[in-house]
Structure 1
Amino acid sequence: MAERLAVPNISARKMITVSGLGMLFDAMDVGLLSYVLLSLEKNWHLAPTMSGLLGSMSLIGMAIGSALAGAMADRFGRKSLFMITLLIYSLATGLSALAMGVGIFLVLRFFVGLGLGGELPVATTYVVEMSPESVRARRAVYLETFWAVGSLVAALLSFFVLPTLGWRIVFALGALPALYTLVLRRALPETSKYQKLEKRLNIRQTFRLIWSGHLAKQSMVTWILWAVMNFAYYGMFLWLPSVMALHGYSLVHSIGYVLIMTLAQVPGYLTAAWLVEKIGRKWTLLPAMLLAALSALGFGFAQSTAMLILFGLLLSFFMLAAFAGTYVFTVEQFPVRARASGMGWAAGFGRLGGVVAPFLTGYLLATHVTFENIFGLFFLVTLFGFLIVLFFGRETRGKALDE
């Protein structure tokens, strides 16, 4: 992974690391919120529905950020949007540490999501366009592996810092390194593929392009895929600490058990990184989705601590392997002139699934719907996405990016 790229003075390792740090902060923020919600529920006396709304608010920002940043990256360049989105995230996260009530916290969560949502499609597009065909998918998954690292960092911060220093310090710690990453990203060049474009489309033109001709089918598949993946991931993972608490475990034990489950995310990503170049993007994604769906069902029916941890590990492994496949599968469906837009609109639409799921999960828990039924719903939704990709998805392994 350390070979030199065509662009001078930038190695593959440096390019992926600097790009991936933004992904790390994204996952860290999502993970931190799932743990912080437990503290906010007690300190601010929040009902489950309000906790769900807090989880959904950043996803509303992510939906808008993904769509707008992707389209703007096709218009103004990948690097510039790289910088802007991370700056928005950094400032909003730092200010969240100062929030004195739920109202201002909701507003800041929106802006955190706006920055993070915009960063994700731009980073993936950047890495794919900076990589040769033979390793582009693997490098994209290496980039997504930073998500697993970010989830692990969030779990560690929450386990060691949250119970002693409080949630405000946790958010402050999340903002400072993100600002430093802005300094590192200044060294990244613009992609040569983007620089060679003779005509750069505006937002309206790129949207028309991705819904015209053969691209319309690919847009349909990727939009549904992202909606399903976000619904399942955010609906389950934002609530995992709370679900463990509802099973009767203390705050520290709930966070500790979820930390153990989180460890499976890294091997899930690395397995996907190996498979995407061996068997293809689609055929890496499909088994991971099916096994993630079955793991969700098993977690919902688990009663003992051992079974909860076992199915939690399996759920983390296969869900994150499926998400790695989702990124690579999506970004290669679109031509260079609309690649960030295609990726951004799919991710943005998909965030709507993430907006609905945390609030719906909170509502279902508040109305005493059983864990079996809640996780059975996630099983069915993920299975639906699996079938859409199976029958309509397009494999891109071995094909030129604009083929």
Structure 2
Amino acid sequence: MTTINIRDFIAEARFNRFHAGMLFWACFIITFDMYDLIVYGSVLPALMKEWSMDPLQAGAIGSYGIFGMMVGAILFGILADRLGRKRVLLASVILFSLASALCGIAPGPLEFSLLRFLGGLGIGGILPCLIAMLTDYAPKGRANTFIALLMCFFSVGGILAAFVSMLLLPTLGWHAVYFVAALPLLLLPLMHKYFLDSPAALLAQGRISELRAALAKVNPEGELGSDAEFTGFQEAEAGSPVRALFTHRRALGTLMIWIAFFMCLLMINGVSIWLPKLMVTAGYALNSSLTFMIVLNVGAIAGTLLLGKLADKWGVKKVLIPMFVVSALSLTLLGFGNNMAVLLVLVFITGACTMGAQNISYSFVSQYYPSFMRSTAIGLASGVGRLGAIVGPTFGGVLLTMNLPVAMNFLFFAIPGLFAALAFTFVPLMKARNTSDHAVPETASQSSLTGA
């Protein structure tokens, strides 16, 4: 009888067609995940006119989707570790695609708001499942790059929403813009075969034939003897995965990760919403201020891809901490700059080091916790981060009502970046220790998290 360590078997795999398919469909889902979330902004003027809504009503409807995301990230993250990631992922895709498409036939604001919330639930459930799945099945040295590429497609979704709106709104109206959201639902039969449950769950539940099929897809060159015994994952701990976040010396790390996510998303959403206004206040024309927003998002894509590569080489934590410090520094300097070229460079760096670092933070979380609780950990970190995303715009609004100098506004936005860096500094990395031949804790992959 041969013994196969599942983690080593997956790590030794070469990037192949199955990895490419899994990554392609994951990025496709993220694209429409973001499309469904932000297309509301594109159709908002038409909705306000048709339904005679005031700005307060319109803003409330916009918040329902974000609130749904927060609830969905926590709820579906927990359910994914209990019911299986593939099942919850498919349910999330169906929910957000169907709810968003039905927005196109909503008769009024009340029905539209309910569908926005339901769509938000599905959107929130996507990320914990996809990140956990890519982490589980990525070859050695590819996990951070996979997740970095995945996160870039949030920006692609935003671009798609803008182009579809420009194309369809003038001719077919806002209803057609929402009907496009049904595309993932129609393509579900093509993509579902690339979604896999956690190998740890398959092993723990005795679903050996499914485990063999999954491993054969991921590493077709590997030897899977008919009498092989599988090892390599920590057995699920007693109690709920939520409780496990605070046991076995994980409590400090969990709290610090939550603080970092809250602070970073507060900073990102606050800056994203208020950057044009701050630059107008500083004396720049509105068109120039919108240019800063474009550069900020281009920097986010470039930063995410670069940081993913660096994290695979040096370790996630070694990359995250200095990047958050640099983000705080670049934001602070924005308040003192008066040269357009210098400001654009600083905005680019800000996008790369705020949004880029936050995107890679998800990779850190997915590798910090054992596989049996990975989706729960990502979902709760994302949910807490969404609270920061909600606070960020309000925080910026309070700053502007205080009529502070522009430099002070940027300084206050920079401070959460320092808190995020400090919080990640205090996240302890636990050394893997063998507890038995059949349970190898993977609480923190030293090679992936620290680069050791």
TM-score for both structures, normalised by structure 2: 0.74
Q: Is the 8 A contact 2:144 2:363 kept in 1?
A: yes
Larger Rg: 2
Q: Equivalent residue of 2:193, what SS?
A: coil
Q: Is the 8 A contact 1:18 1:181 kept in 2?
A: no
After superposition, the C-alpha distances for 1:242-293 in whole angstroms (9 at most, x for unaligned) are 777886537xx87676445433332222101210111110122122222333
Please tell me the root mean square deviation across aligned C-alpha atoms, in Å.
3.9
Q: 2: CA distance between counterparts of 1:396 and 1:69?
A: 25
Amino acid at match of 2:143: R
Q: Does 1:185 align with 2:191?
A: yes
Q: Is the 8 A contact 2:37 2:120 kept in 1?
A: no
Q: 1: CA distance between counterparts of 2:304 and 2:115?
A: 30
2:31 matched residue in structure 1? 24
Q: Equivalent residue of 2:447, what SS?
A: coil
Q: 2: CA distance between counterparts of 1:369 and 1:41?
A: 33
Q: Does 1:145 align with 2:141?
A: no
Q: Does 1:249 align with 2:298?
A: no
1:124-139 superposed matches below 5 A: 124-139=131-146
2:432 matched residue in structure 1? none
Q: 2: CA distance between counterparts of 1:4 and 1:384?
A: 34
Q: Equivalent residue of 1:186, what SS?
A: helix
Aligned residues: 395
**Change in CA separation of 1:292 and 1:4 when aligned onto 2, cut-off 3 Å:** closer
Q: 2: CA distance between counterparts of 1:320 and 1:291?
A: 12
Q: 1: CA distance between counterparts of 2:119 and 2:80?
A: 19
1:76 matched residue in structure 2? 83
Identity %: 27
Q: 1: CA distance between counterparts of 2:238 and 2:70?
A: 15
Q: 1: CA distance between counterparts of 2:404 and 2:110?
A: 28
Note the C-alpha offset of 1:4: 11
**Change in CA separation of 1:381 and 1:41 when aligned onto 2, cut-off 3 Å:** farther
Q: Equivalent residue of 1:212, what SS?
A: coil
Amino acid at match of 1:121: P
1:76-115 superposed matches below 5 A: 76-99=83-106, 102-115=109-122
1:356 matched residue in structure 2? 391
**Change in CA separation of 1:203 and 1:242 when aligned onto 2, cut-off 3 Å:** farther
Q: Does 1:398 align with 2:404?
A: no
- The counterpart of 1:63, out of the listed 52, 67, 70, is 70
- The counterpart of 1:220, out of the listed 255, 258, 263, is 255
More RCO (CA 8 Å, sep 6+): 1
Deviation larger for 158-167 or 280-289: 158-167
Note the C-alpha offset of 1:205: 1.2
1:278 matched residue in structure 2? 313
Amino acid at match of 2:447: G
Note the C-alpha offset of 1:28: 3.1
Q: 1: CA distance between counterparts of 2:300 and 2:107?
A: 34
Deviation larger for 239-248 or 373-382: 239-248
**Change in CA separation of 1:63 and 1:296 when aligned onto 2, cut-off 3 Å:** same
After superposition, the C-alpha distances for 1:35-66 in whole angstroms (9 at most, x for unaligned) are 5567767875644x666544433222111111
Note the C-alpha offset of 1:178: 2.5
**Change in CA separation of 1:161 and 1:238 when aligned onto 2, cut-off 3 Å:** farther
Note the C-alpha offset of 1:12: 1.1
Query: Which consecutive residues of structure 1, in runs of 5 or more, have no partner in the other structure?
Result: none
**Change in CA separation of 1:66 and 1:345 when aligned onto 2, cut-off 3 Å:** same
Q: 1: CA distance between counterparts of 2:275 and 2:160?
A: 16
Q: Is the 8 A contact 2:12 2:140 kept in 1?
A: no
